[in-house]
Amino acid sequence: MPNIVEEFNDYRERMNSNILSDNNKVIKRIFNLDTNAFQSGVLDVRTKELLGLVASTVLRCDDCIKYHLETCYNEGLKKEEVVEALSIATLVGGTIVIPHLRRAYEFWDALEDQG
């Protein structure tokens, strides 16, 4: 069975390297900002990751959802906390979000499976 976590990470890393080696300044600085914005500030990293997850979910981007699910998982957030954030996203974003919820659950399970 293909591991959807590895597959996602491999493609993401490979293409991000490709993009960054291309040296477009605006894009490079956006990537940089992305790293900085999610670091600990007056809000802690866990809260920020949940904010990133909800933003990604209401905007319905599977790859962004996967990325934030993985960082949430690595930060030690519990499934109940992540699901509560996803429930708010589904309420605000509507039932159009549900297909992404299905893939989010599948990805979270895969994260737990690989330990």
Q: Is 7 in the site for a second copy (CB under 8 A)?
A: no
Member of 6, 10, 16, 74 binding a second copy (CB under 8 A):
16
Q: Is 114 in the site for a second copy (CB under 8 A)?
A: no
- Report the nearest approach of a second copy to the CB of residue 50 (Å): 6
C-alpha to C-alpha distance for 110 and 112, rounded to whole angstroms: 5
66: left (phi over 0), alpha (psi -120 to 50) or beta: alpha
Total of residues contacting a second copy (CB under 8 A) = 64
- Report the nearest approach of a second copy to the CB of residue 73 (Å): 16
C-alpha to C-alpha distance for 46 and 28, rounded to whole angstroms: 25
Which has the closest alpha carbon to 66: 103, 30, 112?
103
Member of 69, 89, 110, 111 binding a second copy (CB under 8 A):
89
CB 65 within 8 A of CB 57: yes
Q: Is the four-CA dihedral 73, 7, 53, 83 of positive or negative sign?
A: negative
Q: Which residues contribute to the site for a second copy (CB under 8 A)?
A: 11-12, 15-16, 18-19, 22, 24-27, 29-31, 33-34, 36-38, 41-43, 47-48, 50-52, 54-56, 58-64, 78-81, 83-99, 101-103, 105-106, 109
